[in-house]
Homo-oligomer: A and B are copies of this chain.
């Protein structure tokens, strides 16, 4: 039975780790607030006291932290991953971080003699629970192969995109497109509303045509109900747009549509909607 570590049991991490436990893997978990481990321990997982212990005991450890700061702390902090990794053991960081942070963590892990793979995911809570995430891996190819049995329980699609940084970049590219789509979607609904069109009619026409997509269908319905409970917080979408625009600057790609979407999301954040779902952009599109 393959042995895995799993660091970080937030909304995404606990669902992903649960899929590994239920699949019968021998999983050792850690979370900053230890009580988050209880449910998985009851299901058969082991609990470690520190990230160091996890990576020292398992040949391959997955991590799912909330943001670059947490990912860095777990890696570089006291009793962190760097203190326990080495000897070819693997660290697969599935957190969404900017490409530079990912590369920093990757170099540090490799310097200990360990192996590193970044593997950010596309998808939110429900795909995490259902094991239908899209996994965007990049980095050590051998580690990718060894992680595959675990990936297959967490995701419906796994890609290897190249060197460390490529996974983080793919995540940004995809989230940038999502942000731009939400921006024009909100403007279309707002324009139609002011022109006297019923928003159900607009959603019907969109759903019947070449543009039809699950995001517009789901969000359109929730927006019509005034339901902006966060599946993907607006402030995180704006952060991803900022990172995408910065990536554009680094590689010499101007991004007029993305930069405009970034300011639109900033406006919504500044208006107080940062913790709501990113579809709350509608509230400042048509105030």
Contact = CB atoms under 8 A, between A and B. Distances in A.
A264 B253 contact: no
A187 B242 contact: no
A205 B174 contact: yes
Copies in the complex: 4
B177 A251 contact: no
Given A123-B209, A180-B183, A184-B184, 9 more contacts: A134-B205, A169-B196, A174-B206, A183-B257, A187-B256, A191-B248, A195-B247, A211-B213, A238-B249
A211 B181 contact: yes
Interface string A188-226: 101110111110011011101111111100100000000
Given A162-B196, A205-B136, A178 B253 contact: no
A201 B170 contact: yes
Interface in A226-274: 238, 242, 244, 246-249, 251-264, 266-267, 269-270
B122 A194 contact: no
Contact of A180 (B161, B162, B180): B180
A176 to B, nearest CB: 6
A78 interface: no
Nearest to A269: B252
A218 B201 CA distance: 25
16 contacts: A157-B204, A162-B197, A169-B195, A169-B197, A173-B188, A173-B202, A177-B188, A178-B210, A191-B247, A210-B215, A210-B218, A211-B215, A213-B213, A254-B270, A259-B259, A259-B262
Nearest to A261: B257
A135 to B, nearest CB: 10
Contacts of A256: 183, 187, 256, 260, 263-264
A156 interface: yes
Contacts of A204: 157, 159
A80 B258 CA distance: 41
Given A134-B205, A174-B206, A184-B181, A191 B253 contact: yes
A172 B210 CA distance: 15
B242 A266 contact: no
Given A184-B181, A187-B180, A211-B181, A255 B263 contact: yes
